[in-house]
Amino acid sequence: MAAELFPAKKLATVTPTAVQQYQQQNVRNNNTIQGCNWQGLYPTIRERNSVMFNNELMADIHFVVGPPGGTQRVPGHKYVLAVGSSVFHAMFYGELAEDKEEIRIPDVEPASFLAMLKYIYCDEIDLCADTVLATLYAAKKYIVPHLARACVNFLETSLSARNACVLLSQSCLFEEPDLTQRCWEVIDAQAELALRSEGFCDIDAQTLESILRRETLNAKEMVVLEAALSWAEAECHRQELQPSIENKRLVLGKNIYLIRIPAMALDDFANGVAQSGVLTLNETNDIFLWYTAAKKPELKFVCKPRKGLTPQRCHRFQSCAYRSNQWRYRGRCDSIQFAVDKRVFIAGFGLYGSSCGSAEYQAKIELKRQGSVTLGVAIIKYFSDGSSNTFPVFFEYPVQIEPDTFYTASVVLDGNELSYFGQEGMTEVQCGKVTFQFQCSSDSTNGTGVQGGQIPELIFYA
């Protein structure tokens, strides 16, 4: 993945195998230089510097990198390092420079330190998911801004509900506002997936508070409570406490009042929260009174439901129609391909219904990337009132859609044989700040295409 995002520049004269052999040797720190005229093998200063990467030859400084028990000794060359980093320049040539032969760096992982040195020596960016955060830390610490920007770009590209909460915590730590905003976009739109991810339990208390305060969080409050209790259990283990309900409440502290328990359905409260033990007896009584009494008690909890996100609709037809012999289904697939120019989250589709009075339909909706990778499937029933309106059907969770890639939206309908259908379709539709492009899909076996057919609307968050 990293290679696709940040392709290395090809060397002009020397065969790639020779250069790669030296670089691989250098990463393993078992590099050797064969021959006394090795400089003649490389025509450019960049290539000759690359040979010096993690090389003992002419090294005038050494670093002991990593925490105790996991250190690696890395050779360096002061001049090259000072040219690549103002921190190294101050360390070696500044007014307070110390004449040390060895420098210990316990707070940086060896693999990430080597990734930074590879950029400084070789002008190459080599990132992977396992080390990119640690590499960003190293790039920030030693003020290597272009490498830091590449790390942020990598993180933005790999951002998903699975890692959004952890990256939110890190983006605040590294003061990367653009990455923070991207994380919030994912967390808001795919809140229930993000809250149920393993990474949610690893965030710090400050990030937990910011998520619980979030007005646009698109999640049921019961899911928010369950996530907070899962975080509290992990925090108990981190603090070497027994994960009892009392200790969970203890580590949550005032954050418990950010969970909008009074905004839950009464059944959810009575059958879930009230019996969980997380509330005191007085809190339970007061919330029951808040639900039922005319004169409601004052509560420490936030009582208003979250606003969540307002779904947007991309309508791709300029008109709709019906005929006595159209639109029939009989188990065939209606499908259309689309692409966007900005990341969005598809919540569902708008579908046409019966043109012969009210009727119920069963819809199997599906969303695939590039026609092959299934991202979301749902089987849903919806009621059509006989009008030409569109009727929404939703996936269980919104599906993340990346820009400049074609996706396939499909539906197989079972119900009244005759329905409305769209016509005068558009190949490009502007919805707010997002541009949708449409093209025909080979999966469509029931006649739907760009110009007409089913799936008139894509329902999305942006």
Enclosing domain of residue 376:
312-461
152 and 259 share one domain: no
Looking at 292, 327, 362, the residue that finishes a domain is: 292
324 and 194 share one domain: no
CATH code where residue 201 lies: 1.25.40
Task: Tell me the HSE value of 290 on the side-chain side, using a 13 A CA sphere.
Answer: 23
Distance CA 212, CA 195 (A): 10
Contacts of 7 (CB under 8 A, 6+ apart): none
316 and 457 share one domain: yes
116 and 190 share one domain: no
Residue 326: the pLDDT is 67
261 and 151 share one domain: no
CATH code where residue 327 lies: 2.60.120.820
What does residue 245 show for φ and ψ, rounded to 5 degrees?
Answer: -65, -30
Residue 6: the pLDDT is 35
Q: Is residue 162 part of a domain?
A: no
Residue 443: the pLDDT is 93
Residue 31: the pLDDT is 56
Residue 40: the pLDDT is 81
Residue 407: the pLDDT is 97
323 and 456 share one domain: yes
Q: Is residue 96 part of a domain?
A: yes
Q: How many domains does the chain have?
A: 3
Contacts of 414 (CB under 8 A, 6+ apart): 329, 331, 361, 362, 363
Residue 417: the pLDDT is 73
333 and 198 share one domain: no
Distance CA 244, CA 51 (A): 57
279 and 338 share one domain: no
36 and 137 share one domain: yes
Q: Is residue 329 part of a domain?
A: yes
Q: Is residue 276 part of a domain?
A: yes
How long is the chain?
462
Question: What is the three-state SS of the chain?
Answer: CHHHHCCCCCCCCCCHHHHHHHHHHHHCCCCCCCCCCHHHHCCCHHHHHHHHCCCCCCCCEEEEECCCCCCEEEEECHHHHHHHCHHHHHHHHCCCCCCCCEEEECCCCHHHHHHHHHHHHHCCCCCCCCCHHHHHHHHHHCCCHHHHHHHHHHHHHCCCCCCHHHHHHHHHHCCCHHHHHHHHHHHHHCHHHHHCCHHHHHCCHHHHHHHHCCCCCCCCHHHHHHHHHHHHHHHHHHCCCCCCHHHHHHHHHHHHHHCCHHHCCHHHHHHCHHHCCCCCHHHHHHHHHHHHCCCCCCCCCCCCCCCCCCCEEEECEEEEECECCECCCCCCEEEEEEEECCCEEEEEEEEECECCCCEEEEEEEEEEECCCEEEEEEEEEEEECCCCCEEEEEEEEEEEECCCCCEEEEEEEECCCCECEEEEECCEEEECCEEEEEEECCCCCCCCCCCCECCCEEEEEC
273 and 368 share one domain: no
CATH code where residue 104 lies: 3.30.710.10
Q: Is residue 152 part of a domain?
A: yes
Q: Is residue 168 part of a domain?
A: no
- Are 140 and 174 in contact by the 8 Å Cβ rule? The answer is yes
Q: Is residue 387 part of a domain?
A: yes
Q: Is residue 6 part of a domain?
A: no
440 and 337 share one domain: yes
416 and 455 share one domain: yes
Per-residue pLDDT of the chain (462 residues; tens, 9 = 90+): 333 333 343 333 334 444 455 455 555 554 555 556 778 888 888 888 889 999 998 999 999 999 999 999 999 999 999 999 999 999 999 988 888 889 999 999 999 999 999 999 999 999 998 899 999 999 999 999 999 999 999 999 899 999 999 999 999 989 999 999 999 999 999 999 999 998 999 999 999 999 999 999 999 999 999 999 999 999 999 999 999 999 999 999 999 999 999 999 999 999 989 998 999 999 999 999 999 999 999 999 999 999 999 999 999 999 998 876 667 787 899 999 999 999 999 999 999 998 888 889 999 999 999 878 999 999 999 999 989 999 999 999 999 999 989 999 999 998 877 889 999 999 999 999 999 999 999 999 999 999 999 999 999 999
Residue 33: the pLDDT is 56
